[in-house]
Amino acid sequence: MTVYGTRPEAIKVAPVIRALEASDALDSVTVVTGQHREMLDQVNEIFGITPDHDLDIFEHGATLSLIVARVLERLDPVLEAEKPAALVVQGDTSTSTAAAVAAFHRGIPVVHLEAGLRSGDISTPFPEEANRRLTSQLAALHLAPTATSKANLLRETISPDQVVITGNTVIDALLTAVERKPSFTDPELESLADAGGRVVLVTTHRRENWGDTMKGIGRAIGRLADRFPDIAVVLPIHRNPLVRAALLPYIEGRSNVTVTEPLGYGEFTRLLALASVVLTDSGGVQEEAPSLGKPVLVMRENTERPEAVEAGTVRLIGTDENRIVEEVATLLTDSTAHRAMAHATNPYGDGHGAMRSVAAITHLLDLGPRPADWGTEGQS
């Protein structure tokens, strides 16, 4: 059984669900919690997944505790009815940790996809760093995306027998999506693509950036658009009303800023492929953009994804308004600085993460051999 509730989880579990469906040894049952609503449905649609159960917990303005409480309450009867042999959760959302607790209470082994990421600071990202650490305590099988994440788990005294390095399944999803090259539903984006000018792609939604920090991000975007009238800034804006209220007043009314509703995954990856510079506080985007050779400036103080920072395609720039403006300006005006960051690197996966994940789950259930760690069978 796979349980997921938000857009980033859906993107990363979709390839695993498809691989489970193709497996001879295992059957697949999917449960969505609906922690995000439209953004989740968008992803299910693109990967052709129809959930077997929908806990439908979404409520505007729900607190984290309410989300956790609802998942626990509504998942438990589904676990009782379906009696899964194992339960797969992904990453670090409230959905994933609550589902892991519910499974643990029923003695169902928890499989943690994208295990072992650590920022080192329990309060950022919030609440994700705490969620991922809690899930690590409950999991019977840890599917670590990279050698770094495996090392983090071993440092926390998790047994190496319980950890398999799979590569991040976001790369499986990305490779599937970019191949499709969908048209943009927003005609403004289609014209931007035709015009072939420089695009700065911005995404921001992190909870710890809400409020004044996000207003500063909004002001930085506005200043950049005014300073570089020849560039197009594109912001697919998160559904959260707090994010919208903080950003929109500072960026609206400019002809070179396009604010869109959240894009379907295929359209988003096409936009990513078009971008000259990516400015983000997203986790998933930090993993995808390096694959496409895009420089990424991350508006956070730390990251649980150090691999692309080490490879030189991602830079942590924090959230200070002036610093954001200067860092983006440098990449727009200094071609040597841009070139130094714009090289394709794949530290997060090779597109076969889902296959390795399903092999590891099959092994957990004594139905097949243990797969080799990604990287030990030839990292690409």
Known catalytic residues are: 92, 114, 128, 205, 207, 238
Q: How far apart are CA 346 and CA 349, in angstroms?
A: 6
Q: Which is nearer to ligand UDP, 36 or 70 (CB)?
A: 36
* 28 contributes a contact to ligand UDP by CB under 6 A: no
Q: How far apart are CA 44 and CA 121, in angstroms?
A: 32
Q: Which is nearer to ligand UDP, 79 or 232 (CB)?
A: 232
Q: Which stretch binds ligand UDP (CB under 6 A): 47-55, 142-150, 155-163, 280-288?
A: 280-288
Contacting residue, 127, 284, 353, 371, with ligand UDP by CB under 6 A = 284
Strand residue runs (E) in 52-162: 53-54, 87-90, 110-113, 141-144
Q: How far apart are CA 257 and CA 249, in angstroms?
A: 13
Q: Which stretch binds ligand UDP (CB under 6 A): 97-105, 157-165, 260-268, 364-372?
A: 260-268
Alpha-helical segments (H) within 205-251 = 212-227, 241-251
Q: How far apart are CA 289 and CA 315, in angstroms?
A: 12
Q: How far apart are CA 23 and CA 154, in angstroms?
A: 29
* 356 contributes a contact to ligand UDP by CB under 6 A: no
Backbone angles phi, psi at 233, to 5 degrees: -95, 130
Q: Which is nearer to ligand UDP, 86 or 243 (CB)?
A: 243
Q: Which stretch binds ligand UDP (CB under 6 A): 116-124, 187-195, 262-270, 368-376?
A: 262-270
* 263 contributes a contact to ligand UDP by CB under 6 A: yes
Q: How far apart are CA 19 and CA 163, in angstroms?
A: 19
Contacting residue, 17, 100, 144, 285, with ligand UDP by CB under 6 A = 285
CB of 262 to ligand UDP, least distance (A): 4
Give which of 248, 209, 4 is closest to 126, Cα–Cα.
209
Q: Which is nearer to ligand UDP, 262 or 371 (CB)?
A: 262
Contacting residue, 2, 7, 68, 352, with ligand UDP by CB under 6 A = 7
Contacting residue, 109, 218, 283, 351, with ligand UDP by CB under 6 A = 283
* Residue 373 DSSP code: P
Q: Which is nearer to ligand UDP, 205 or 352 (CB)?
A: 205
Contacting residue, 33, 203, 313, 362, with ligand UDP by CB under 6 A = 203
Give which of 195, 261, 194 is closest to 234, Cα–Cα.
261
Q: What is the x/- site pattern for ligand UDP, positions 204-223, by CB under 6 A?
A: -x------------------
Contacting residue, 2, 3, 5, 11, with ligand UDP by CB under 6 A = 11
Contacting residue, 222, 262, 290, 349, with ligand UDP by CB under 6 A = 262
Give which of 211, 214, 188 is closest to 203, Cα–Cα.
214
> What are the b/e assignments for 328-348, b being 16+ CB within 10 Å?
beebbeeeeeeeebbeeebbb
Binding residues for ligand UDP, rule CB under 6 A, total: 16
Q: How far is CA 184 from the centre of its chain?
A: 21
Helix (H, G, I), strand (E, B) or coil at 162: helix
Q: Which stretch binds ligand UDP (CB under 6 A): 136-144, 263-271, 344-352, 356-364?
A: 263-271
Report in angstroms the alpha-carbon separations of 36 from 81, 100, 288, 349. Answer: 25, 18, 21, 26
The number of helices, as runs of H, and strands, as runs of E, in the chain is 16, 13
Indicate the residue type of 221.
Answer: I
Q: Which stretch binds ligand UDP (CB under 6 A): 4-12, 107-115, 181-189, 244-252?
A: 4-12
Give the orientation angle of helix 265-274 with respect to helix 187-195, to 10 degrees: 30
Q: Which stretch binds ligand UDP (CB under 6 A): 5-13, 106-114, 129-137, 193-201?
A: 5-13
Q: Which is nearer to ligand UDP, 330 or 345 (CB)?
A: 345
**Which residues are at the interface with ligand UDP (CB under 6 A)?**
7-8, 11, 170, 203, 205, 236, 262-263, 265, 268, 282-285, 288
